[in-house]
Structure 1
Amino acid sequence: MASAVATPAATATATADTTGLLVAAVRAGRTAEVVALLDGMTDAQRRAAFPELKAVRQELRTARWSADSRRAHPALHAAGAACQTGAAAVANWLAAVDMRWSQASPAVLLHVLGDRDRGWLADVAHRLAQRPAASNVSYELMAGLVRLSGCPVPTTEAYVQGWLTHVGGDWQRGGTVCDRLRRDPHLAELVAALFRTEGVGTQLGWLSGDGPESWTSALARLTGEGVLDRRSVVDACVARLLRGGAPAELRVFLRLLKDLALTREEERRRAADWTALASDAMPTVASHAQSVLGALALAGELSPRRLAQVTEAVLFRTEKKLVRAQLVLLGKVLTKNRSAAGELLPAAARAFGHEDSDAQERALKLVERHVGKVTAAEVREELAGAAEQLIPALRARAVRTLGATPPDSVPVAHEEVLPPPPQPVRLAPAPAAAVEVAEEISALLASGSDVAVFERALDGLVRHAHLDRDALLEALEPVVARRWWAEGEPRHGHRSDDFFARRHELFDDARAFDLLLATLYGKVRTDTLHRVVHDGLTNSGCAHNSLARPFEARVWEVAHRLRTDPQPFLLATPTWGTGLLEPGELVDRLDAYRRAGARVSAVDFGQALLRVRRDNRPAALAAAERAAALGTEEGERLARRLLTERAAPSVTRRTADTRILVELGEVPDLRAEEFPAALRLLGRPVNPDSDHWYCSHWSGAMRPHWFALLPERPELVAARLLRDVSEAAVHDQQGTAAAVLPHLADADGEAGEAVHLSVAYGLGARHAEDRLAAVDALLVLAARGRLEAGRLGADLGQLVRRGAVKPARLADAVRTAAATGANATVWAVLRQVLPVLLADLSTGGATTSSARGLGELLAVAAECAERTGEQGSLPHLSGVADRRGTSRLVTQARRLREALAAAPAAA
């Protein structure tokens, strides 16, 4: 009996000793010792050790980047995987975020897991392969598990991308890429997966380039050798191109297709695919498909009907190179096959409506050259009808050559089409229940907000903290539980209290609510709040400081009042989504404060004064009388504010490298001592040369709130953001113009130098979305009567001349604006731009950058002049129009001169 009782006790003691040794070895980072211990442990001993290993992991999480943590993690990674039995649990452990950057080697993991059942190993392999590629799961580990288990190879994104890197990496010294692929037992399955996996093309491109040892060359060679099925590879490659995607990715698959060197039969069999690619694919792919179809057509292996279908699709595209190539191809085919004219010429006439007048002229020449081969009267009538889409000069020619209908003798008056001015959106009342406040804050923290959402949630938080703090805290519990400062884990090495004490910046609206919620839950010390509110915020020295500090000061002040003396509601909550506050509403709020005996917060009231509407003089005068009657200091200040005229700062244009920027003088009415120090920054002079080299205001989420600081004075905000917006054109920065320009256009104040320069830079931006935002701003300003087209045109002329704006980008932007129906507005801008550039061209002073794309600008101007019936002369235009040759610049200059000299044409 004694021995029977002693055996379990001895076993437990041995297990405890083994667990202690294992944990000690893990903490010391002795991976070899850990492996030796694991080899000698039974399954039961391993399972018994896991809780201790889990506790070590939890402990190391609190100091993830410490030396002890980095030392222990590889050994912990291996031990934790070996001491669990479930495949899902092991996969989760191996791919855990906290293990990601300090893992055990694949060889060690395969050793400690290799004695498991083959089905279990296959389960782990496929679970790991299902993880996102960003999980950093080792390909060698996954491949080793596949090898040990004998399971089918996974073809997931993580596995395929890992395979690519493993085979194509420079560290692989066992022959060429082709040699390594040839030895792979799963080559066919993984190559097939290449064409289904997003992002693979880009990875292939940077892994091995496009030389003879590239991936595409290797795959083509293996296909030629019969190692890979040729038809399957070709079909998969064409299908991948048809699916579309990022240009960098598609270029790699196009290179592979060219390396495969398709035979004429293979090309003919896929004629429908080439047609689809020529119609819709990116230009490089479409050009290749077009060349294949052209070769088939010239060889007589493509029917005229199919060629006509291709032509109609290609001529619908905007790329001039593709359109020109298609028209050239039609000319060659019609020269060889007269009988095809009846089907091909109507297709060519589709170009009569193309936005490019050169394409229209080429198509007209082609039709004129071959129309004699057409015998059917209905085809001739179709061509004559299509000619009505031609520009006036070409249509007049088509009347003579094709029998087209002459233009109406009485032209249709041009009707300018502008978007309806945006209607202001009134803020909804603050949420009535604490649960609603919590829901709105949760949504804001998850996905950001605009001014209206932020201000409504902020006012709701303040109101309910004053009404029933306990109910608010209870409603916010689910929201707070997910915030980093509530989890107890430090961020960037600091607890939440230290973090807010050290970093006062509120980079976005989520950070602002983190401060407020942390204050409500006692995670920020009162002395920290007091110090920031009374000592002020740190001056960062950058141009954004004057905009960021007022917003941050108000949020910090709200946090301080939440802790010390909750306000009944906020005074500065705007009436409208732009930030504008109606004066009558502010008087009502001050009266409510007076009756409740509530203390007014300095920054909140100062912000209210900056937001209050003053341009409606009757309403302002009536509100000023009511405010003065309140008998309070704040009422007197509001009355003075409403009765005082705005003082405009001095404005000076400054040039810096290729840019034109704006320097503003001090704004006296914003520098008054009655404003808190943070708000007085808004009246500080703006000097574009004084920006500090370092700037932490990188988040575009804050810019809408900056415009809401001064809703009637967008010029003061635009001057401080002008350098940022100019980066969109000068240095091809993406997103800044799109984030700023809509707010400038929606603002209620006057559009001055800085606003017009901002729109000018946006029209010349590198990226299409920024140019589109600038076009929208241009049209909205015009619709609201705040666009000075002459000023904008003069600015654009100087910016193009200096090289800050490229004419081709500007042409694309103004063409988009004209396409909406704003032809007169665009012409009013271009008539100021073009003389500057034409003068430089005529005197030989034009730079290459300013001359390139000038023909495109002239084409847009000519179209606008034709549609609006504008007449007159344009300085220096004749000097270009009288040049010899048929370049686009010269032909469009002649077209514009003719349009300005002719009677107004039909729209």
Structure 2
Amino acid sequence: MTTLLDAVREGRMDDIRPLLAPLDRGGRKAALEELKALRKEARGWRWGERTRVRKAILVAGAGCHTGAAGCATWLGARDMRDWVHSPYPWVLEVLGDREPDWLADVARRLAARAVESDAEYRLVEELARRAGCPLPVSDGMVRTWAERVNSSRWQGGAEKPLIDVLRADTRLDVLVPHLLTMPELPPVVAWVDSHSPAGSWPAALTALVAEGLLDRAALLDSCAARLLRGGKPTDLRFCLLVVRRLGPTSGEEAARVADWMAMAADGPSPVAGHAQEVLARLDAQGALSVRQLAEVSGAVLFRTEKKLVRAQLIHLGKVLRRDPSAAEELLPVIADAFGHPDTDAQERALKLAARALPAVSPEVREEAARMASLLAPVHREAARAVFGELLEEAPGVAAYEEILPPPPAPRPLGPPAASVAELTEEVTAALLRSDQEDVTAFERALDGLVRHARTGREELVAALESALAGQWWAKIPRDDADRRMLRGRDGLHLVVASLLGRISRRAVHDGQTRGTATGTCSHAALDAIVHARLWEAAAGIRTGRLPYLLATPTWHTGAIDASELVERLSGYQALDVRAGAVDFAQALLRVRRTGEEEAAERAAALGTAEGDRLAAWLRADEPVATVLPRQVEAEVPVARDWLRQPVTTVRRVLLSTDGNRLVQQKFPRSFHWLGSPHAPLNDRCHHWVVESPHWTAILPEDGETLAAWLLPTVASGVEEQRGTTWLLPALAETGGPAAGAVHLALAYGLGARDAEDRLAAVDALLVLAARDRLDAGLLGGELATLLQRESVKPNRLADAARTAAGTGAYGTVLSFLVPVLPALLARERAPRGLSELLAVAAECAERSGPPRTGPVPGLAETAARGGTTQLVRQAIRLETACRVGTG
């Protein structure tokens, strides 16, 4: 056994099999224990030496295992896969004397684990071949097989047709059926080149069906089941291509009527559209009953996609012409469309109802008349013409009431952790959030560490050492931890490691020195403040001198109650404790300033330098940096590829900020960027993904300033970036004025390219309105400016406005849309999306009443153009609503 372990340590894999041969079951078990210890030891070695030895450990360990389950676990371990050249040929050698059933069991177990490489696939394949069993199939095996197929097309220099490669594979009948049951198709399978679709997997698979190499019914069933189940758009597109290329017969389509109905009702638009086409064909062939048609029509007409709704109504019209007796069952479904948000769909449904009305019973006719109350006001006259006296007169219109969410109430952080056990739980939870996205949890944990390091240091250290023994900094030499902490952004890990002595005093000193950097852009500057606080806390927690932190927020926004900060300073004075410079500076930025004269008097009465500074800060009640009112148009490079290479430029409207001498002179150097004047894009910024919930918590009372600094980031969402509006809802909760910068940022967010970004902007809009801080005229003016410069597209703004209006805020939405419309209506050529904006405005006016500002300039001229375009129709609708209010 000693000779075997020497061979393993020296990486002599050719010697392993001869050395294993004389060992009996007990000897192999003892050797395996030694190999496990060596495997653990090797984790701390250098990469090259570790890799060489681990190969030998893998081979020897496989040979020492006598059970198939243990061997498969050993071979599939994650930490045994970091080599370049595969050791599996030696593995097969040491397993050469095993029984076929044992090898088959190992192959099945390995296949069930994560097979991620060609080498692992070949290992399972060879084990199955030696065992004489079918190839085990799993997601990993099939994914790797698909990549092998794709790679083999390029062997030999010339591209081979995909169908030729697949045709030569003898395991298609096993691998392809599993391929279509995977949660996600392999990218090499799902991707279809639009320039050469004939060389795609859908084309190859359907061709193999025609050749009899794949079962047609099984392939069709698998694709239909996947379309019914849903999934990634690329996967569904793949299945649709397969189904269309297979060209199901009428009988095959009729056998799956229930599936098509479910797809039409709930499937993504492309899938629902195809199912709708199939059902229309089946109905024309008489394979769909009227009851089934009514059922699926009710579901489709409930969908929001205008194309699907229009197609279904058109088909229902054909059915009514072909079979008037179907009206009895179809009219209730058609009447349900009276409540569809699209007024064109309502109009088409009303015309169909007029055609069906003579053929239905009085009961159905009366029910349809009652449903007509859901029609938009623009269709009321037409509804009266259709239903006559059956149409109930609308009751007196109730006064409109705007529906806004309740203003968000500040949530207090709550009292600090009362015990070490409670604090340990909070710290552990906060550390698990590696990006510290929960500011409340971060601040509570940071303050709790400082508090208990003073009052119960020994108990706290013991509890944390036990709870955090698995953290990376607890398992490496202190010099390595020092280097990483100084280089990285490790958040609370830094403070805890300092408390437990896992980083040196020298590192803490160097970190504080480096923490004076101010950054080159707003993102770096705000991050620098967070890091400076952490390094200062890491230094203070070693001494245990601080009773608590001054900058711990009172509320979840990051704001501090002025009276509470005075009490904290008073406590410092009583204990003769000097405040940390960074901690006190952050506290000043967070304290609520407006209307705090009483707190200012109490602060001044303390007779300390910090008390005097707090009093002066409260009485001045000035922003950290003043946003200049003049907008700046700047040329911004737009990156469109993953290398972030600028390929074009766009003009954006941005804002500048003035300097603050007090911040420059009295605050620590890490805050000096905040007090410097800044013009858009003068700062060097190399950040790609920029997001931190700490930023709004750094300046919770200066939302306007923060909005101006982060405006370039928010504005980038209208072109190429995603996730740029994440801060807008938090920005809407900040204190201080909400003026030009906040409203300009909101305008950019409402026109963002990504739908989720627009949704975040809608949330911010509603919060501002609920807090009575929304200036609709200002927002409308900013939007008009951005639309004029084509920074925001009308169709995206319409989508955001429609979403906001759908919450019940019709008056709010109308108030900022009205200033937007005149310039767009005045254009010689109507911009794309204008009709959608008019439709949203019309719905808002119909529900909330005409705009208070009077007629919209240019609207009457557009409505008078004549014709049946959506632009003219929606202009007429809005003009009518503005003229008669709610009818």
Compute the TM-score of the two structures, normalised by the length of structure 2. 0.91
Q: 1:373 to 1:132 in 2, by over 3 A?
A: farther
Paired residue for 1:890, among 854, 872, 883?
A: 872
Query: 1:159-558 counterparts in 2 under 5 A?
Result: 159-171=141-153, 177-178=162-163, 181=166, 186-200=171-185, 202-206=187-191, 211-368=197-354, 370-371=355-356, 373-403=358-388, 405=391, 408=394, 410-447=396-433, 448-488=436-476, 495-503=480-488, 506=489, 511-534=490-513, 536-558=515-537
Question: Which residue matches 1:87?
Answer: 68
Mapped partners of 2:190, 2:658: distance in 1: 54
Post-superposition Cα deviations, 1:458-495, rounded to whole Å, max 9, x if no partner, equal 111001111121100111023321211111179xxx71
Mapped partners of 2:198, 2:78: distance in 1: 39
Is the 8 Å Cα contact of residues 442 and 479 (structure 1) preserved in structure 2? yes
Post-superposition Cα deviations, 1:368-389, rounded to whole Å, max 9, x if no partner, equal 3x23652422232233222221
Question: Which residue matches 1:8?
Answer: none
- The residue type equivalent to 1:341 in the other structure is A
- Larger deviation: 398-407 or 458-467? 398-407
What SS does the aligned partner of 2:631 have? strand
Is the 8 Å Cα contact of residues 298 and 332 (structure 1) preserved in structure 2? no
- The residue type equivalent to 2:735 in the other structure is D
Question: Which residue matches 1:12?
Answer: none
Matched, 1:870 2:850: yes
What SS does the aligned partner of 2:786 have? helix
Question: Which residue matches 1:643?
Answer: 619
- Larger deviation: 222-231 or 248-257? 222-231
Mapped partners of 1:376, 1:885: distance in 2: 37
Matched, 1:604 2:604: no
Paired residue for 1:625, among 594, 601, 614?
A: 601
Matched, 1:687 2:676: no
Paired residue for 1:861, among 833, 841, 866?
A: 841
Q: 1:476 to 1:406 in 2, by over 3 A?
A: same
Mapped partners of 1:489, 1:143: distance in 2: 43
Paired residue for 2:731, among 736, 739, 744?
A: 744
Post-superposition Cα deviations, 1:213-265, rounded to whole Å, max 9, x if no partner, equal 43323333444444444333322221211111111111111211222211101
Mapped partners of 1:408, 1:636: distance in 2: 67
- Larger deviation: 885-894 or 49-58? 49-58
What SS does the aligned partner of 1:579 have? coil
Mapped partners of 2:766, 2:657: distance in 1: 30
- What is the Cα-based RMSD across aligned positions, in Å? 2.8
What SS does the aligned partner of 1:169 have? helix
Question: Which residue matches 1:715?
Answer: 704
Is the 8 Å Cα contact of residues 611 and 708 (structure 1) preserved in structure 2? yes
Is the 8 Å Cα contact of residues 358 and 888 (structure 1) preserved in structure 2? no
What SS does the aligned partner of 2:632 have? strand
Q: 1:791 to 1:568 in 2, by over 3 A?
A: same
Shift of 1:203: 4.4
Post-superposition Cα deviations, 1:388-428, rounded to whole Å, max 9, x if no partner, equal 21111212111012326365484332111111101111111
Q: 1:93 to 1:829 in 2, by over 3 A?
A: same
- Larger deviation: 620-629 or 182-191? 182-191
Q: 1:561 to 1:18 in 2, by over 3 A?
A: closer
Shift of 1:808: 1.9
Post-superposition Cα deviations, 1:836-895, rounded to whole Å, max 9, x if no partner, equal 22222xx34x6xxxx122111110001111111205321122332233432212211121
- The residue type equivalent to 1:100 in the other structure is R
Q: 1:630 to 1:773 in 2, by over 3 A?
A: same
Is the 8 Å Cα contact of residues 455 and 574 (structure 1) preserved in structure 2? yes
Post-superposition Cα deviations, 1:738-793, rounded to whole Å, max 9, x if no partner, equal x2112111212221222112222222223332222111110110011101111111
- The residue type equivalent to 1:859 in the other structure is A
Shift of 1:667: 4.1
Is the 8 Å Cα contact of residues 802 and 840 (structure 2) preserved in structure 1? yes
What SS does the aligned partner of 1:204 have? helix
Q: 1:18 to 1:585 in 2, by over 3 A?
A: closer
- Larger deviation: 227-236 or 866-875? 227-236
Matched, 1:653 2:639: no
Paired residue for 1:662, among 648, 654, 659?
A: 654
What SS does the aligned partner of 2:502 have? coil
- The residue type equivalent to 2:73 in the other structure is N
- The residue type equivalent to 2:542 in the other structure is R
Structure with more contact order per residue of length (Cα contacts < 8 Å, sep ≥ 6): 1
Shift of 1:713: 0.9
Question: Which residue matches 1:758?
Answer: 745
Shift of 1:583: 1.5
Mapped partners of 2:784, 2:81: distance in 1: 54
Give the unaligned 5+ runs of structure 2.
636-649
Matched, 1:78 2:59: yes
Mapped partners of 1:220, 1:875: distance in 2: 59
- The residue type equivalent to 2:106 in the other structure is V
- The residue type equivalent to 1:853 in the other structure is G
Give the unaligned 5+ runs of structure 1.
1-14
- The residue type equivalent to 1:156 in the other structure is S
Q: 1:534 to 1:39 in 2, by over 3 A?
A: closer
- Larger deviation: 228-237 or 754-763? 228-237
- Larger deviation: 790-799 or 87-96? 87-96
Q: 1:227 to 1:376 in 2, by over 3 A?
A: same
- The residue type equivalent to 2:761 in the other structure is A
- The residue type equivalent to 1:376 in the other structure is S
Matched, 1:819 2:806: yes
Is the 8 Å Cα contact of residues 3 and 19 (structure 2) preserved in structure 1? no
Q: 1:590 to 1:803 in 2, by over 3 A?
A: same
Q: 1:240 to 1:870 in 2, by over 3 A?
A: same
Shift of 1:107: 4.2
- The residue type equivalent to 1:882 in the other structure is A
What SS does the aligned partner of 2:633 have? strand
- The residue type equivalent to 2:361 in the other structure is A
Paired residue for 2:715, among 726, 729, 741?
A: 726
Mapped partners of 1:113, 1:243: distance in 2: 42
Mapped partners of 1:821, 1:522: distance in 2: 56
- The residue type equivalent to 1:711 in the other structure is P
Post-superposition Cα deviations, 1:273-326, rounded to whole Å, max 9, x if no partner, equal 111100000000100000000011122221222111111111111111111111
Q: 1:201 to 1:524 in 2, by over 3 A?
A: closer
Paired residue for 1:115, among 97, 101, 116?
A: 97
Is the 8 Å Cα contact of residues 411 and 904 (structure 1) preserved in structure 2? no
Mapped partners of 2:693, 2:9: distance in 1: 53
Question: Which residue matches 2:882?
Answer: 900
Give the % identical residues. Answer: 46
- The residue type equivalent to 2:284 in the other structure is L
Mapped partners of 1:628, 1:304: distance in 2: 83
- The residue type equivalent to 2:558 in the other structure is G
Q: 1:675 to 1:134 in 2, by over 3 A?
A: farther
- The number of residues matched between the two structures is 860
Mapped partners of 1:386, 1:224: distance in 2: 52
Q: 1:383 to 1:328 in 2, by over 3 A?
A: same
Mapped partners of 1:41, 1:653: distance in 2: 85
Post-superposition Cα deviations, 1:501-557, rounded to whole Å, max 9, x if no partner, equal 344xx3xxxx21110111112222212322332464334412312211122111111
